[in-house]
Amino acid sequence: MKALAAILIVFISLNSLQASRILFLFPTPSKSHVIIARALSTALAEKGHDVTLMSSFTTKSQLKNHREIFIELGEGTYQQMNHLMSNPTRNFYKMMNATIGISYEIGKDLMESKIMNDVMKEKFDLMVIGMAFTNFLLGLTQHFNCPVIMLSVQRHMSFTNLIIGNPLSVNTAPHIYIAKHDMNFIDRVKNFVMYGGDLLMYEIVNYHQRVIYDTYFPSTKFRSYDEALKNLSLILVNDHYTEGVVRPNIPTVVDIRGMHIKTVPDQLPNDIEKFLNEAKEGVIYFSLGTNVRADSIPQEKLQILLSVFSKLPQRVLMKWETENVAGKSDNVLIKTWLPQADILAHPNVKLFISHCGLGGIVESQYLGVPILGLPMFGDQMMNADLAEQEGWIIQMDLETLNEEEFYKNIQELLYNETYASTVKGFSRLFRDRPLSPKDTAVYWTEYVINHRGAKHMQYKAIHQNFWQRNSLDVIGFLLLSLWTIYQMMKYVWKKLIKKIIQKIIRKGTKKSEKRKKL
């Protein structure tokens, strides 16, 4: 009997470890999003799973069981994306409106492509989709009859929390445009208003997503869009409480910030490694990310950057869209693409000049490199504001950038040990976890597969409407009940007082009549 039980345990263990077919869908024009997705997809492939990654940025995978499929996005998508990048806005809701338009174009490009139709003929055990206003892709879970995980490359946002039923924590978690670790009363009022705006924007986003969903997943064959939203098993979020914002999370929300950072950096290309190794005074790394094009930066601002770099004893490794830049000094090396995390891991890199995208912020925090921030749009301002409060960033406005202040801030960050010491402290805190971010993401991904969607973890709030989720219906009922009781008591009291008064009057009348008779 014991032998039979042992055989059964071994069989169950082997069965739980068998390879699963996993589809990653990341139809985004942002390369930084795909980098994070690829970190998880390759980690799962290394564990033996058969992984397909569909994105608009592919590489030649070194793993046989990691297939990458190129999604060709239409000209309209890139035009809208280029317009957004060339005309960056700090208005959160304008940016959301632009993103909604881009997501509609992406939906059309993807669902009408031959490659997507071919993939839909295959079978998968799990689907992982990017959180970039592509909720319409949830219709594919019914088509493949498999659970779905959402991977958010951004920090906690209202849209991420609302879709899974995670508490918004309006009183403690700052909105993307508040960006304060400790909010005073006025900040909390602003926070309340901003979250209210998000609730409205969430409905607008869902309206547009529902249109795309109904087009490609008609009600005659598929569940409704609202029902599809309730089929989400898990959300992996590029966030962590060590960043400074502590908030409650339900079990189906897992923080995996830093997942894309390698514990051991890859070997750098020979020319870059030589450039870094021979930098006796250290290296400054400059990059404005994957979305901002060089030609969107005014020429006079570029000349300010190059002029300051020419005066520094440090070497400058610069990511730019063209390597032939007029006015470049000998201490500057320009490349169109650079392995950012591997570069920041080099001991000679002393400073990172960044647009403060979340990927760069996380890498700097993990690897202990201070930042001179040039945030331009989206969450970049919040990222920079929070890091500045923590004491390891100085931020500047690219539009008002001048040579004197730029040079002064570089000197401050390079030679004031406080900034480097502070970020290295955050690095130690950030790394101190029971599981690495990547291992955490892999564990919970496999957990969802092994437990067929892990429905037992689902938070009941996603089956409730806004009024129920916030107990407004209960509060309304209790207030109505109290008002009804009050009105009843008021009515009874009036009747009772009236009777008492009438009785007193009758008694007084009788007494007066008796006196008259006497």
CATH number at 405 reads: 3.40.50.2000
CA-CA distance, 358 to 351, in Å (whole number)?
Answer: 17
Residues 6 or more apart whose CB falls under 8 angstroms from that of 292 comprise: 85, 88, 355, 376
Mean pLDDT on 266-275: 94
Residues 6 or more apart whose CB falls under 8 angstroms from that of 367 comprise: 261, 341, 344, 345, 427
In a domain, 512, yes or no: no
In a domain, 375, yes or no: yes
The answer to whether residues 288 and 235 belong to one domain is: no
* pLDDT surpassing 50 at residue 336: yes
Number of structural domains (the chain) is 2
pLDDT at residue 16, rounded to an integer: 45
The answer to whether residues 359 and 444 belong to one domain is: no
The answer to whether residues 257 and 283 belong to one domain is: no
pLDDT tens-digit map of 147-163: 999 999 888 888 889 99
Q: What is the mean pLDDT of the chain?
A: 86
In a domain, 12, yes or no: no
* pLDDT surpassing 90 at residue 96: no
The answer to whether residues 378 and 232 belong to one domain is: no
Residue 416 has a CB neighbour count (10 Å cut-off) of 12
The answer to whether residues 392 and 324 belong to one domain is: yes
- Residues of the chain above pLDDT 70, percent: 88
Most confident segment among 403-417, 427-441, 451-465: 403-417
In a domain, 285, yes or no: yes
Report the run of H or E that residue 319 belongs to, with start and end: strand 315-319
The answer to whether residues 321 and 223 belong to one domain is: no
* pLDDT surpassing 90 at residue 374: yes
* pLDDT surpassing 60 at residue 17: no
Most confident segment among 131-140, 198-207, 240-249, 447-456: 447-456
* pLDDT surpassing 60 at residue 271: yes
Mean pLDDT on 327-343: 91
Long-range contacts for 387-394 (Cβ within 8 Å, ≥24 apart)?
A: 387/356, 387/361, 389/180, 389/181, 389/244, 390/181, 390/244, 390/422, 390/426, 391/418, 391/419, 391/422, 392/364, 392/365, 392/419, 392/420, 392/422, 392/423, 392/426, 393/356, 393/419, 394/419
Quick one: pLDDT band at residue 454, thresholds 50, 70, 90? very high
* pLDDT surpassing 80 at residue 243: no
The answer to whether residues 226 and 281 belong to one domain is: no
In a domain, 471, yes or no: no
pLDDT at residue 460, rounded to an integer: 87
In a domain, 494, yes or no: no
For 354, list phi and psi in degrees, rounded to 5: -135, 160
In a domain, 249, yes or no: yes
The answer to whether residues 64 and 165 belong to one domain is: yes
Mean pLDDT on 127-155: 90
pLDDT at residue 340, rounded to an integer: 92
Quick one: pLDDT band at residue 112, thresholds 50, 70, 90? confident
Q: Is the pTM of this model over 0.85?
A: no
pLDDT at residue 83, rounded to an integer: 62
Report the run of H or E that residue 472 belongs to, with start and end: helix 472-517
In this predicted model, which residue has the larger pLDDT, 211 or 13? 211
The answer to whether residues 203 and 303 belong to one domain is: no
The answer to whether residues 293 and 418 belong to one domain is: yes
Give the lowest-confidence range in 12-16, 187-191, 435-439, 474-478: 12-16
Tokens for 457, please give them: 């973890």
Out of 381, 413, 431, a domain closes at 431
Tokens for 356, please give them: 């403060």
**Are 261 and 341 contacting, i.e. CB atoms less than 8 angstroms apart?**
yes
**Are 136 and 130 contacting, i.e. CB atoms less than 8 angstroms apart?**
no
CA-CA distance, 252 to 261, in Å (whole number)?
Answer: 23
CA-CA distance, 261 to 291, in Å (whole number)?
Answer: 20
For 239, list phi and psi in degrees, rounded to 5: -155, 165
* pLDDT surpassing 90 at residue 501: no
Mean pLDDT on 58-86: 76
Residue span of the structural domain in which 30 resides: 21-261+436-458
- For 106, 169, 209, 225, 459, the CA distances from 469, given in Å and listed in that order, are 32, 13, 22, 20, 11
CA-CA distance, 102 to 29, in Å (whole number)?
Answer: 9
In a domain, 254, yes or no: yes
Mean pLDDT on 104-121: 87
The answer to whether residues 420 and 449 belong to one domain is: no
Quick one: pLDDT band at residue 4, thresholds 50, 70, 90? very low
The answer to whether residues 397 and 445 belong to one domain is: no
pLDDT at residue 77, rounded to an integer: 66
pLDDT at residue 186, rounded to an integer: 92
Q: What is the DSSP string of 150-198?
A: EEESSS--HHHHHHHT----TTTS--TTT--SS--HHHHHHHHHHHHHH
pLDDT at residue 226, rounded to an integer: 92
Tokens for 34, please give them: 């795909």
pLDDT at residue 484, rounded to an integer: 94
